[in-house]
Structure 1
Amino acid sequence: MLVAAAVCPCPPLLVPEVASGAAAELDVLRAACAEAVAELLAAGPELLVLVGSGAEAEVWTDGGAGSLRSFGVDLAVRLPSGGVGGPELSPALTVGAWLLDQADVALPTHACAVPDDAPVERLLGLGKGLAGLADRVGLLVLGDGSARRTLKAPGYLDDRAEAYDALVARALGTADTAALAALDPALSTALLAEGRAPWQVLAGAGEDAGLRGRLRYEDAPYGVGYFVASWS
C-alpha cells in the first residue's frame, strides 16, 4: 500500500550543472524538493516508484539510467537499484533519479513513464496497481504545472493557467485524490501542464491510503507552475 509520496517538478534547471550561472535562482525549490524526498524516505518505504511523463508508456523494474547530455551537460544518473539496461529514462524520470541520488537513496526503485495523453481511468488504475506492489510503497511523482502563466512563459500567457495551477496546488496540499482525478486532460494539454498524467497516477495510488498532504512550495518561475508537496 502507499505509505508516502513526494511530489516535485521536473525542470532540467533543477540540476545546478544545467542551470549553470542561474542555479541560485532555484535554490529554494531545490531545498523544498530535498525536504520532500527526506520525508518520503522517513516513512520507511520498502519500494520506491518514480512516476513521470514520457513519450510513451514504459516501466523500469531492474534499474535504469538517464542522461542530461541533451541539455548540454555530460552528466548521467541511474536509479538506485539494479543495472542500467533497457531504454533511457525520460527527462522527467532522469530529474527524479537525480533527486534520489542527491539523497543517497539505496532502496529498491522502479520507474514508470506515462504519456501526456493517457486516459484518466488507465492512470488511476495504474496508480492502484503501483500501490499494491509491496506492503510499504513510496512514490516520487514528477510533474510541472501550466507552462502558460506569463507572457514570457514557454507557451505564452493563457488566462486559465493561474486558476488551473491554484486548483492543483490545493489538491496536492490537501491530498485531494478526487480533485486530481477530475483534472481535465484537454484543458491540461492546452495549458501545457505535463504533470496531469503523473498526478492522476498518484490519485489512484492514494485513493484509499488515508494520507495527509502538505504543500511545501508553489511558484511559477519562468512562467511555469512548480509545486512541491508531501503526502504522509
Structure 2
Amino acid sequence: MSEAVRVENLRRAFGSTVAVADASWSAAAGAITCVLGPNGAGKTTVMECLGGLQRPDDGRARVLGTDPWRAPAAHRARVGVMLQDGGLPQSATPRRLLTHLSRLVAGPTRTAELMERLDLDGRAGRPIRRLSGGEKQRVALVAALLHRPEVALLDEPSAGLDPHARREVWRLLRQVADDGAAVVVTTHSFDEAERIGDRVVILHRGRVAADAPTAELAQGTGLEARYFALTEEQA
C-alpha cells in the first residue's frame, strides 16, 4: 500500500505548552490508521496540521505528498476533514448544507447514499442547532466523505454515537478504506482502535509511544494492556 500521509518530527507548541513533540508516523492508502490517546495527547493538533488549519513549529506534515499549510484548492478537494468541533452552521439544515457542499464538488457525490446510510433523512429538514450531538457528528461525517476523498482525516468520528450508529460508522469507514482511501481516525477508545484499525499510532503527551499494525500491538494481552504498559514506561 502506498503512503498517503506522513508526519515527520512534527512539533507544535502553544506558549510553554508542547502539544506535539517530535512525532513521526505515516498512514497508507487503502487502510484505517487509528491515532489513539487520551484527551490532551496531541491528536487534534496533529489532525489540524494535516488538514492545513495549523502550521507546525518544526518538522513536516505531508498529505498526498503536499504541505497542507500551503496546499492549493486542487489538493484540498482530494482530502476530507472532520474536526472534533464540526464547525457546522447552526441555522442551516443538513439538507441545505450538504446540497450546497455537493454543488462545490466537480463530479458526482455520494450525499444521498450517506444520508440514508447514517439515518439522517428524517432529520434533514431540521436546523442543525436542534440536532443531537450524535446527529451533528453524522452530518459532519457526511460532509467529510461526500466527495469520495483520497484521504479522510476524521477526529473522533464516533464520539457521542449510540452503539448501532457507531457500528454503522465503522462499517462505512472500512468501505471507504477498502475503496482505496487513506482513513485516519483519532480515538480514545481501545475497542474502536482494535476493531477497525489496520494500524495504530499511540500518542502520549505529544509523543509517539508506539506505531505498528494493530494485530501486532494487541497480540497477547490486548491493546488496552499494551497501551498502559507503553505509556507507564514513559511516565
TM-score normalised by structure 2 residue count? 0.30
Q: Which structure has greater strand proportion?
A: 2
Highest CA radius of gyration, 1 or 2?
2
